[in-house]
């Protein structure tokens, strides 16, 4: 596929979710955030990811409204923060998110972390109540280890659609990928460009030079080869476009093997309230 022929339909979907999205973490300037979302959508992206903790839901909603793209064509996700995970907090904060985003429904709602006020017996039924009311189409989790998901699946009546975790060539998450495949749960990768470190990984540079593309495109294409959805953050039009063009890149078996063989583990995001298994 040539870059010129890329369309929104060019991006594969995982159970209806576009496998390339625009991430908005640390996109805190309201005007810049709204403009980057608008630019991404008009470039061809159809998946937008935000969170209550990012403080930019209103700007994200503004970008969606400003784009020459129908709301019905946008897969929109946000996350409930760890201090609002009691039953009423989940419901009230999600209603606030909908208002800030300027939408009637969310395509995907995540529990941001299994931490602080997270109580499976309270948090998860609250998410299901939002789904029952038609405010949320799918329920998801983020930064969950398999034992967290096992526990959640015992409580929930319906399925967990996705688990959003840090994943990239320096944190390949092989065990979690295997677990997700067996449990029929999609994986969504945040920090897929290693927070800019993709340009410092020799294996990615070698593959990039072979194909005449950027290291960022190689990392995103590798994730897609693994069946993982990526939501790279980008603010400039150039970076938004470069990431988008990863959808035209097909890695061969040798490329994938080269990246698979990277013998390094470098987690970029490890807050003090993260799962104990990360220590």
Residues annotated as catalytic (active site), given as ranges: 54
**Distant-in-sequence, close-in-space partners of 162: CB < 8 Å, separation ≥ 6:** 17, 108, 110, 138, 140, 141, 185, 186, 187, 188, 229
Q: CA distances (Å), 240 to each of 150, 191, 268, in order?
A: 36, 15, 21
Neighbours of 263 (CB within 10 A): 5
φ, ψ dihedrals at 159, nearest 5°? -80, 155
The three-state (H, E, C) secondary structure of 212-264, written as one string = CCCHHHHHHHHHHHCCCEECCECCCHHHHHHHHHHHHCCCCHHHHHHHHCCCC
Inter-residue contact 139 to 162 (CB < 8 Å): no
Burial bucket for residue 179 (CB in 10 Å: 0-12, 13-18, 19+): middle
């Amino acid at each position: 596929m040539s870059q010129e022929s890329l369309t929104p339909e060019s991006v594969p979907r995982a159970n209806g979710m576009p496998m390339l999205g625009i991430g908005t973490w640390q996109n805190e300037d309201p005007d810049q955030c709204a403009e980057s979302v608008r630019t991404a959508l008009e470039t061809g992206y159809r998946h937008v990811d935000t969170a209550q903790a990012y403080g930019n839901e209103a700007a994200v909603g503004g970008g969606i409204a400003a784009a020459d793209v129908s709301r019905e064509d946008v897969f929109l996700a946000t996350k409930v923060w760890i201090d609002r995970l009691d039953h009423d907090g989940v419901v009230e904060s999600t209603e606030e998110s909908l208002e800030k985003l300027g939408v009637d429904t969310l395509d995907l709602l995540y529990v941001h972390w299994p931490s602080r006020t997270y109580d499976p017996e309270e948090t998860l039924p609250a998410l299901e109540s939002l789904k029952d009311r038609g405010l949320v189409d799918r329920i998801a989790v983020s930064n969950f280890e398999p034992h967290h998901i096992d526990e959640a699946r015992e409580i929930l009546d319906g399925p967990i659609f996705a688990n959003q975790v840090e994943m990239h060539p320096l944190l390949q998450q092989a065990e979690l990928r295997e677990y997700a495949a067996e449990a029929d749960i999609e994986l969504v990768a945040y920090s897929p460009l290693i927070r800019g470190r993709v340009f410092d990984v020799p294996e990615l540079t070698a593959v990039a030079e072979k194909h005449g593309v950027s290291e960022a495109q190689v990392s995103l294409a590798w994730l897609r080869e693994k069946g993982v959805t990526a939501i790279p953050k980008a603010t400039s039009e150039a970076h938004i476009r470069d990431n988008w063009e990863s959808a035209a890149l097909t890695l061969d078996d040798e490329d994938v093997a080269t990246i698979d063989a990277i013998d390094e583990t470098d987690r970029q995001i490890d807050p003090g309230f993260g799962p104990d298994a990360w220590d």
